[in-house]
Amino acid sequence: MPTLWIGTNNKKKRAELERMLAPLGFTLRTPDQLGRPFDPVEDQPDFAGNARAKASALARLAGAVALADDSGLCVDALGGRPGVLSARYGGPGLDDRGRLLRLLGELSEAPDHRRTARFVCSLCVCGADGRVLAAIEDVCEGTLLRAPQGEGGFGYDPIFVPVEFAGDPTKTFAALDAATKDRLSHRGKALRRLAATLPGLVAGGPAEA
């Protein structure tokens, strides 16, 4: 089976990627199998730049094709925050729950019609030399609840209701089954768009000039 490295240290995100990539038949390898540290700096101004930095760094370290994801939540009432800082919002002292509660606090005065948001996912595939082979970005529109609902997912999933279930607070990303979330999510959409070309890229497609 062809090998694909996936560049994330987030166990729950890695589980989603592994689940959605399973039908393509790759042998998936992760940074903890490198035998050396993998902690790229995510200091780019957009998701695409961070995905590219992670994919390129991992591909060079592994000497093989690598796929990286950068994703996050953009809230209209907060001018697009937390955006690229979604996983680090509020500083290193907060966990997923702490970041979610901070966000809810910032939105406490926002009326329901202004609680619109979207999850964004950028994917980047790089060849062994670190050059970009493919880059795709997709989104999932939705609204934010005033309190968490559901026990699944991670990050801001417990307060995000995708637009397909608008008006039903029981249908957050944290409450949906995996198949439904994968069908609607930003990451699922981006991976499906990439799936048609990814096998050829892993087998050794030409790098982007």
Catalytically annotated residues: 70
Q: b or e along 31-62 (b: 16 or more beta carbons within 10 Å of the residue's beta carbon)?
A: beeeeeebebebebeebbbbbbbbbbbbbbbb
* C-alpha to C-alpha distance for 160 and 200, rounded to whole angstroms: 35
Tokens of 114: 């202004």
d(Cα 162, Cα 85) in Å, to the nearest integer? 21
Task: Report the C-alpha gap between 109 and 126 in whole angstroms.
Answer: 43
Region of 29 (left: φ > 0; alpha: ψ -120 to 50; beta: rest) is beta
Bridge partners for 3 per DSSP: 27
